[in-house]
Structure 1
């Protein structure tokens, strides 16, 4: 069996590795190559321009603003999602009353998990239709209708939500980059949090259920409150799960393409006035809706920059996690 183990393993790995090379590695290599040319996506004739497209990215005001929007999403979306998921998971698993059987979760916790997880089974198209109706900027929108019925909003001046380009914070200028948080972008982040909390709630719940109940009972006997138990017992034991969640949410924050396309105005999303533009949505617009002759190659350069930023984010997170492990060891 040992003599035939290598061919046996190679036989199982050949097909998936081949598919990975064909559909992942080769497209990445071709994208990197086209980013160094003036290829327009249609003509077989194109020239080599070197780093010209990457230098053009540093002059593209919309792209630089889109990077700022991604930075806001990368800051707010993972933090709020993880905090809410941790809070709800802790309340569902350890928030019940203690009795002779020990610490219990709240009654009906399985039902609550199903309710929180339900947005995960919806396609992004359905999510877009639902929330577009919720944020509709007239009395047909659910939020505006409720606020109008309470007399908090004038019927002639409804809240615009997805059509509002004003920033909720004063814009912060960092050289060529501008950090701002338009109302439409905050609405998109709220929808992303609504859709993401349920998955990570289930992830953290599964991790909490693997923690021995004796630890919680010992903490309770020592007089620890629920808040102290969370920060001194639960959170340290969930550190690896939180790190994994942070990486996945960070990658999702650097993408954010589907919500922008599905919910915001404009032919390629990103409206109004590029207030909700992110790197991935502007990449699509540059590739297929740009007046530039080399729009496709320019978009390839954007794609490579997004890939590099994603790998950098994952690398930094892994490095921070390893550093904490070494210090504790």
Structure 2
């Protein structure tokens, strides 16, 4: 009986695992192999060069600059996004004033606010990047026009043209377009926490801040940990590439003086602009290592005893 059960499970999983190996694992293997070659990507011919691409990468100043920007995103983007999402979700679910029929409730109009926060998720990331590119325009953009309207016309930054500001402008866009998803996710998690916990804590004299750190955050920790890993992968992947590519790419790469270049963009440029596919796969291997290390650290540091309710 047990033998038949395992044979059924193996047969059921064979096709999905084969597809996963073909379309996910095999491209990774190919990328690692091509990182040891001299391949343009435009012909099937290549030549094995050993570790020459890795030696070139470690001496590439643009690679180190893009790695620095990607690490900055992977550290600060989850922190900023998840902190805002937790605050908004807490206010929408248990942060409102006491009412006659409920001691614990969200702010008035919480259902409407959820729709507003989630709205950026409906838009394509390309549309979001274009809209903010117009908003950041130093001559006719909404930001400088707003500053001029309130009497700050002398303060007119070149938002995407200033190497000290461009990366933070991209960072703000990424936070704006991702925070709504986690507001809805955390709201669903908070809605499942029994209100009795909050009411008992309030009766014992706890304030809203105490209930957040002693009740809400511990019971949502698994969701927060998963969100942190997801945001890190997003910061190292297509989301950051798309925003930087659309908003800041100029003749010399991402932003003025490579000030916004991130690893995914640098991989794209080397492969499709410069015709150095083998070197691009080498940078991709480095990106894979950084991503795996980040996820491993998050899972390790976030490990704690599971709380049930």
TM-score class, shorter: over 0.9
How far apart, in 2, do the equivalents of 1:246 and 1:128 lie?
23
Alignment correspondent of 2:285: 304
How far apart, in 1, do the equivalents of 2:124 and 2:173 lie?
13
Alignment correspondent of 1:231: 213
- The CA deviation at 1:75 is 2.2
Are positions 1:325 and 2:305 aligned together?
A: yes
CA contact (8 A) 1:163 1:265 kept: no
Alignment correspondent of 1:257: 241
Alignment correspondent of 2:31: 31
Are positions 1:290 and 2:274 aligned together?
A: yes
**Structure 1 residue runs without a partner (length 5+):** 168-182
> CA RMSD for the aligned pairs?
1.9
- The CA deviation at 1:125 is 1.5
CA contact (8 A) 1:66 1:282 kept: yes
* TM-score with structure 1 setting the length: 0.87
- The CA deviation at 1:159 is 1.9
Report the number of matched residues. Answer: 303
Alignment correspondent of 1:108: 109
* TM-score with structure 2 setting the length: 0.92
How far apart, in 2, do the equivalents of 1:20 and 1:266 lie?
37
How far apart, in 2, do the equivalents of 1:268 and 1:31 lie?
26
Deviation track 1:158-212 (CA, whole Å, cap 9, x = no partner) reads 32111111x2xxxxxxxxxxxxxxx111000000000111111111111111111
How far apart, in 1, do the equivalents of 2:46 and 2:180 lie?
47
How far apart, in 2, do the equivalents of 1:284 and 1:309 lie?
17
- After TM superposition, list the pairs within 5 Å mapping 1:88-103 onto structure 2: 88-98=88-98, 99-103=100-104
- Runs of 4+ in structure 1 deviating by more than 6 angstroms, as ranges, are none
Of the structure 1 ranges 184-193 and 236-245, higher mean CA displacement relative to structure 2 is found in: 236-245
**Structure 2 residue runs without a partner (length 5+):** none
CA contact (8 A) 1:262 1:269 kept: no
Alignment correspondent of 1:158: 156
Deviation track 1:247-294 (CA, whole Å, cap 9, x = no partner) reads 111111222211111111326851222110001101111112227xxx
